[in-house]
Amino acid sequence: MLRGLIFDVDETLVYYEGYDLRRWYEEVGRPAMEKLGVVLDWETFRRIVRGELSRTYVERFGIDHVEFWKAMDRANRTYRENLLKAGRIKPFPDVDALKELRNMGLKLAAVSNASQDNTELVLRAFGLDKYFDIVLGKDYSYLDGVKPNPYLIEKALRALNLKPQEVMIVGDSSNDVLAGKRAGIKTVNIVRFEKVPGADYYVNDLWELVKIVRGLTCPR
């Protein structure tokens, strides 16, 4: 029986007007790296962010990888704060469905590859944090544990005290689907921008998710 849901945050619950990873690299990431005295070229940075290279890869440039990614996250904090002030981070119009899911007695978790600090910042900005039993950002003790690694999903399962068969993950990307599959849980692709192959369910918005959840939780 379904007892819980794990949600991705960025591009699943909220979206960023004008965001592009390459642009972020040029305008935010690269200047932050220059302050550390090291700059990863765009292709190397892209491969690390997408999990093609280990996050410890930066240590070959003579910098502690934890300190490197903390610096990136501090820069990202300023970036997000500025976007919020400009009204360029917005919740999707269907996020009110979280209240309905909560009222159904489900345990809810938010899990993001962004830092804990940056994830909480965005959720609090729109009052979405109140719907979640647990919010998890990336773990500095294991930076390669970001999705599609199942580490954060498994961490959420322990925090919710739920078994894999009792939970589904809801996200917009292949990283969410892969992380869910590797953790042994059902996956829901919310098709905000593209349809990701391999998900167990597909929805166009969170109200469609509510209908699926009702079918899985209500006695027939």
- The CATH number assigned to the domain holding 204 equals 3.40.50.1000
Give the number of domains in the chain. Answer: 2
Q: Within 104-219, where are the H helices?
A: 116-125, 151-160, 174-183, 206-217
Q: Which of 39, 57, 85 lies at the terminal end of a domain, its last residue?
A: 85
Residues 161 and 189 in one domain: yes
Instruction: Compute the average pLDDT of residues 112-139.
Output: 98
Residues 163 and 99 in one domain: yes
**Helical axes 116-125 vs 65-85, angle rounded to 10°:** 10
Residue 181 is part of which domain span? 4-16+90-217
Instruction: Compute the average pLDDT of residues 130-157.
Output: 97
- Contacts of range 183-189, beta carbons closer than 8 Å, 24 or more positions apart: 183/150, 183/153, 183/154, 183/157, 185/6, 185/153, 185/157, 188/212
Residues 130 and 200 in one domain: yes
pLDDT at 126: 98
Residues 161 and 191 in one domain: yes
Residues 68 and 38 in one domain: yes
**CA geometry: angle at 20 spanning 149 and 201, to 5°?**
45
User: How much is the mean pLDDT over the chain?
Assistant: 96
Separation between Cα atoms, residue 199 and residue 172, nearest integer Å: 10
Query: 7 burial class (0-12, 13-18, 19+ CB within 10 angstroms)?
Result: buried
Residues 64 and 140 in one domain: no
Residues 129 and 186 in one domain: yes
Nearest C-alpha neighbor of 109 from the set 7, 217, 3: 7
Residues 142 and 206 in one domain: yes
pTM for this predicted structure? 0.95
Residues 130 and 159 in one domain: yes
pLDDT band for position 50 (cuts 50, 70, 90): confident
Residue type, 180: G
Residues 173 and 210 in one domain: yes
pLDDT band for position 219 (cuts 50, 70, 90): low
User: Is the pLDDT assigned to residue 220 strictly greater than 70?
Assistant: no
**pLDDT per residue over 77-119, tens digit each?**
999 999 999 999 999 999 999 999 999 999 999 999 999 999 9
